[in-house]
A and B are shown apart, each in its own frame.
Chain A
Amino acid sequence: MADSVNITVDGRSLQVRPGTLLIEACRAAGIEVPSFCYYPGLSLQAACRMCLVEIEKAPKLQTSCTVPVAEGMVVRTATPPVVEARRSMLEFLLGNHPLDCPVCDKGGECELQDMVFRYGAAESRFAEEKRHIPEQQWSPVVYFDAPRCILCYRCVRVCGEGLDVHALGIVNRGGHSENAPNHGDHLECEECGMCIDICPVGALTSGAYRYKARPWEINYVSTICTHCGDGCKTTLSVRNNTILRGNNRDHSGINGEFLCIKGRYAYDFIEHPERLRHPLVRKTGQLVETSWEEAIRMVASRWKEIPDHQNESASSPAFGVIGSNHTTNEDNYALQKFARVILGTNNIDHHRTADFPALIAALSAQQHAAAGVPDGPACLARSRDLAHAAAILLIGNNPTVQHPLIAWNIREGCRLRGTRLYVIHSQQIPLLRQSFRFLPLRAGQEVDALAYLAGELGREEKLLGRTPGGREITSESLLDFRNRLLAEKDVIVVFGDEITGQAVSLLVRMGSQLPGHTRYLGLSDYSNSRGAADMGLLPHLLPGYCAITDPLARSRFEEQWKSKLLAQPGWTAEEMLAAIRDGRLGSLYVVGANPLKKQDPLEYRGKTFLVVQDLFLHETAQAADVVLPAACAYEKTGTVTNTCGELQRLRKAMQVLGPRSDLEIFGHLAKAMDAQLQPSRPDEVFEEIRQLVSGYNVPLSQLMAGEAELAMPINGFLSPSEFPGNVSSSQDHLFTSGTLGRYSQTLNIVPEGKTYKPPDPC
Chain B
Amino acid sequence: MSAQFTLKLEEKFSTLLSRYPVKRSVLVPMLLFAQDEYGFLNQEIVAEIARRLGLTVLDVEGVISYYSMLRKKPAGRYHLQICTNISCMLRGANSLFEHAQQKLGVGPGEATPDGLFSLEEVECIGACSWAPALQANYDFYHAVTLERFDQLLSDLPAGRAVPDTPPMSHTEHEVQVLTRRFDLPNAASIDTYLAHDGYRALEKALRQMTPDSVIEEVKQSNLRGRGGAGFPAGMKWSFVPKQSSKPKYIVCNADESEPGTCKDRLLMQNDPHQLIEGILLAGFAVSAHQGYIYVRGEYRYLIEILDRALEEAYARGYLGKNILGTGFDFDLATHTGAGAYECGEESALLESLEGKRGIPRIRPPFPAVVGLYGGPTVLNNVETFCSVPSIILNGGQWYASLGTPRNGGTRLFVLSGHVNRPGVYELPMGFPLRKMIEEVGGGIVGGKQFKAVIPGGSSTPVLTADALDTPMDFDSVAKAGSMLGSGAVIVMHEDTCMVEAALRIMKFYAHESCGWCIPCREGTSWLKKTLDRFHSGGGRREDIRLIEELAKNMLGKTFCPLGDAAAMPTISIVQKFRDEFEQHLTGQACPLEGRLELELASE
B530 x A175 contact (CB < 8 A):
no
Interface residue B524 (Cβ < 8 Å from any Cβ of A): yes
B484-526 Cβ-contact flags toward A at 8 Å (1 or 0): 0000000000000000000000000011111111110111111
A174 x B559 contact (CB < 8 A):
no
- Within the assembled complex, what's the spacing in Å between the Cα atoms of A170 and B546? 30
Count of chain A residues near B, Cβ 8 A: 41
By beta carbon, the residue of chain A nearest B542 is A125
Q: Which residues in B have their C-beta under 8 angstroms from that of A598? A: none
Interface residue A243 (Cβ < 8 Å from any Cβ of B): no
Interface residues of A in 164-187 (CB under 8 A from B): 166-177, 180-183
Q: Which residues in A have their C-beta under 8 angstroms from that of B66? A: 171-173
Q: Which of B513, B540, B556 sits near A127, CB closer than 8 Å?
A: B540
- Within the assembled complex, what's the spacing in Å between the Cα atoms of A307 and B65? 78
Interface residue B57 (Cβ < 8 Å from any Cβ of A): yes
By beta carbon, the residue of chain B nearest A165 is B56
B514 x A174 contact (CB < 8 A):
yes
Q: Which residues in B have their C-beta under 8 angstroms from that of A46? A: 362, 517, 559
B59 x A166 contact (CB < 8 A):
yes
- Within the assembled complex, what's the spacing in Å between the Cα atoms of A126 and B543? 9
By beta carbon, the residue of chain A nearest B358 is A173
By beta carbon, the residue of chain B nearest A96 is B522
| Given A151-B521, A167-B58, A169-B59; A92-B515 close (CB under 8 Å) | no
- Within the assembled complex, what's the spacing in Å between the Cα atoms of A253 and B529? 48
Q: Which residues in B have their C-beta under 8 angstroms from that of A85? A: 553, 557
- Within the assembled complex, what's the spacing in Å between the Cα atoms of A169 and B525? 22
Q: Which residues in B have their C-beta under 8 angstroms from that of A48? A: 517-518
A47 x B58 contact (CB < 8 A):
no
In the complex, how many angstroms separate the beta carbon of B131 from the nearest chain A beta carbon? 25
Interface residue B62 (Cβ < 8 Å from any Cβ of A): yes
In the complex, how many angstroms separate the beta carbon of B361 from the nearest chain A beta carbon? 10
Q: Which residues in B have their C-beta under 8 angstroms from that of A181? A: 58
By beta carbon, the residue of chain B nearest A170 is B62
B526 x A95 contact (CB < 8 A):
yes
Q: Which residues in B have their C-beta under 8 angstroms from that of A168? A: 58
- Within the assembled complex, what's the spacing in Å between the Cα atoms of A691 and B357? 61
A49 x B529 contact (CB < 8 A):
no
A177 x B523 contact (CB < 8 A):
no
B256-292 Cβ-contact flags toward A at 8 Å (1 or 0): 0000000000000000000000000000000000000
In the complex, how many angstroms separate the beta carbon of B550 from the nearest chain A beta carbon? 8
Q: Which residues in B have their C-beta under 8 angstroms from that of A150? A: 518
B556 x A49 contact (CB < 8 A):
no
B557 x A47 contact (CB < 8 A):
no
| Given A47-B517, A92-B526, A93-B522; A175-B559 close (CB under 8 Å) | no
Q: Which residues in B have their C-beta under 8 angstroms from that of A84? A: 553
B517 x A49 contact (CB < 8 A):
yes
In the complex, how many angstroms separate the beta carbon of B492 from the nearest chain A beta carbon? 26
Interface residue B148 (Cβ < 8 Å from any Cβ of A): no
- Within the assembled complex, what's the spacing in Å between the Cα atoms of A275 and B351? 55
By beta carbon, the residue of chain A nearest B43 is A184
Interface residue B61 (Cβ < 8 Å from any Cβ of A): yes
B513 x A174 contact (CB < 8 A):
yes
B62 x A126 contact (CB < 8 A):
no
By beta carbon, the residue of chain A nearest B60 is A169
B101-120 Cβ-contact flags toward A at 8 Å (1 or 0): 00000000000000000000
- Within the assembled complex, what's the spacing in Å between the Cα atoms of A85 and B543? 20
| Given A49-B559, A128-B530, A175-B513; A88-B62 close (CB under 8 Å) | no
- Within the assembled complex, what's the spacing in Å between the Cα atoms of A731 and B66? 42
In the complex, how many angstroms separate the beta carbon of B399 from the nearest chain A beta carbon? 30
- Within the assembled complex, what's the spacing in Å between the Cα atoms of A168 and B57? 11
A173 x B515 contact (CB < 8 A):
yes
Q: Which residues in A have their C-beta under 8 angstroms from that of B526? A: 92, 95, 126, 128
Interface residue A44 (Cβ < 8 Å from any Cβ of B): yes
- Within the assembled complex, what's the spacing in Å between the Cα atoms of A176 and B542? 27
Interface residue B340 (Cβ < 8 Å from any Cβ of A): yes
In the complex, how many angstroms separate the beta carbon of A443 from the nearest chain B beta carbon? 26
In the complex, how many angstroms separate the beta carbon of B595 from the nearest chain A beta carbon? 27
Which of A60, A84, A89: most chain B Cβ within 10 A? A89
Q: Which of A66, A126, A151 sits near B530, CB closer than 8 Å?
A: A126
Interface residue A116 (Cβ < 8 Å from any Cβ of B): no
A61 x B556 contact (CB < 8 A):
yes
B47-66 Cβ-contact flags toward A at 8 Å (1 or 0): 00000000011110110011
By beta carbon, the residue of chain B nearest A52 is B557
B558 x A173 contact (CB < 8 A):
no
Q: Which residues in A have their C-beta under 8 angstroms from that of B517? A: 46-49
A92 x B65 contact (CB < 8 A):
no
- Within the assembled complex, what's the spacing in Å between the Cα atoms of A128 and B543? 12
Q: Which of A88, A127, A173 sits near B340, CB closer than 8 Å?
A: A173
Q: Which residues in B have their C-beta under 8 angstroms from that of A127? A: 530, 533, 538, 540, 543
Q: Which residues in B have their C-beta under 8 angstroms from that of A89? A: 518-519, 557
- Within the assembled complex, what's the spacing in Å between the Cα atoms of A181 and B57? 10
Q: Which residues in B have their C-beta under 8 angstroms from that of A126? A: 526, 529-530
- Within the assembled complex, what's the spacing in Å between the Cα atoms of A95 and B519? 11
Which of A92, A93, A174: most chain B Cβ within 10 A? A174
Interface residues of A in 36-88 (CB under 8 A from B): 44-49, 52, 60-61, 66, 84-85, 88
8 contacts between A and B (CB under 8 A): A47-B516, A60-B557, A61-B557, A88-B557, A93-B518, A126-B526, A175-B524, A176-B515
If A125-B542, A169-B59, A174-B513 are given as contacts, then 9 extra A-B residue pairs at C-beta distance below 8 Å, sorted by A number, are A49-B519, A88-B553, A89-B557, A91-B553, A126-B529, A169-B58, A169-B61, A170-B62, A175-B522
Chain A: residues with CB nearer than 8 A to chain B?
Answer: 44-49, 52, 60-61, 66, 84-85, 88-89, 91-93, 95-96, 125-128, 150-151, 166-177, 180-183
Which 7 pairs, one residue from A and one from B, show the smallest C-beta to C-beta distance? Answer: A177-B515, A88-B553, A92-B522, A175-B525, A174-B513, A60-B556, A182-B58
